[in-house]
Amino acid sequence: GAGVSQSPRYKVAKRGQDVALRCDPISGHVSLFWYQQALGQGPEFLTYFQNEAQLDKSGLPSDRFFAERPEGSVSTLKIQRTQQEDSAVYLCASSLVPGQDTQYFGPGTRLTVL
Amino acid sequence: RKEVEQDPGPFNVPEGATVAFNCTYSNSASQSFFWYRQDCRKEPKLLMSVYSSGNEDGRFTAQLNRASQYISLLIRDSKLSDSATYLCVVTRSNDYKLSFGAGTTVTVRA
């Protein structure tokens, strides 16, 4: 079946622009995660949803970052007034049930802020 | 100090060789442990879970040492297709998020 999909795959933004990144999890997966991966680093946790509820947003680096999953399926990560340090790959992952279940990652969105 | 630390490598090994590397984790409350594989410009994919008793999956062997808080991965009979970055991952009890190390790069040469 289809895996996790993300769009766009690549995004170039000018500093100060707002961007919106989309994640389509595997159908039926309850849990959805966003991670940020800087060049040469491992992914860093941003936020977690269980269905439509955002249960953990402790990893969001600033109030310019906002995520939602209004109907418990598709999720959007929005970054306002982008800065150069926001340049990274943004990975979405989903898992069937909460807890220690395998997380399946999407291909990521590579954001470059000029 | 980062929660998960890995030797970045790179480990450059010939085909057929054995390569092994470790990662250490700082939080003694860590509960679950994994190795993920990430190919260049691709997403991470689960390679294997790591159990206290140690476990094998084909040419891959993972070990966990809770007392010393380290995890190891050994690859036997290396193939060219094993070239990748290997990410050490831990989770804490009652916490769903994955904590990643920065990765260990392995390059297998012909």
**Would the pLDDT of A101 be above 80?**
no
Please state, for a pLDDT cut of 90, what percent of chain A lies above it.
Answer: 93
Return the residue of A nearest to B34 by Cα.
A102
**Would the pLDDT of A97 be above 90?**
no
Would you say B100 and B87 are in contact if contact means Cβ atoms under 8 Å apart? yes
Cβ within 8 Å, pair B44-A44:
no
Whether cis (ω within 30° of 0) applies to the bond prior to A8 is yes
C-alpha span between A9 and B11 (Å, rounded):
30
Burial B3-24 (b: 16+ CB within 10 A, else e): ebbbeeeebebeeeeebebbbb
Q: Chain A neighbours among B 53-72 (CB < 8 Å)? A: none
Would you say A65 and A88 are in contact if contact means Cβ atoms under 8 Å apart? no
Look at residue B40 in the predicted model and tell me its pLDDT: 94
pLDDT tens digits, A42-94: 999 999 999 999 999 999 999 999 999 999 999 999 999 999 999 999 999 99
Cβ within 8 Å, pair A107-B42:
yes
Look at residue B28 in the predicted model and tell me its pLDDT: 85
Query: Which positions in chain B touch A35 (Cβ < 8 Å)?
Result: 98, 100
**Would the pLDDT of A1 be above 60?**
no
Question: What does each C-alpha distance from B19 to A36, B35, B48, B60, B65 come to in angstroms?
Answer: 29, 15, 16, 10, 19
pLDDT tens digits, B59-74: 999 999 999 999 999 9
pLDDT tens digits, B17-40: 999 999 999 988 888 999 999 999
Question: At CA A73, angle to CA A92 and CA A7, rounded to 5?
Answer: 45
pLDDT category at A17 given cuts 50, 70, 90 is: very high
Would you say A50 and A114 are in contact if contact means Cβ atoms under 8 Å apart? no
A26 versus B94: the higher-pLDDT residue is: A26
Closest CA to A77 of A12, A19, A15, A4: A19
pLDDT, average across residues B86-103: 91
Look at residue A2 in the predicted model and tell me its pLDDT: 83
Q: Is the dihedral of CA A24, A88, B95, B106 positive or negative?
A: positive
pLDDT category at B110 given cuts 50, 70, 90 is: very high
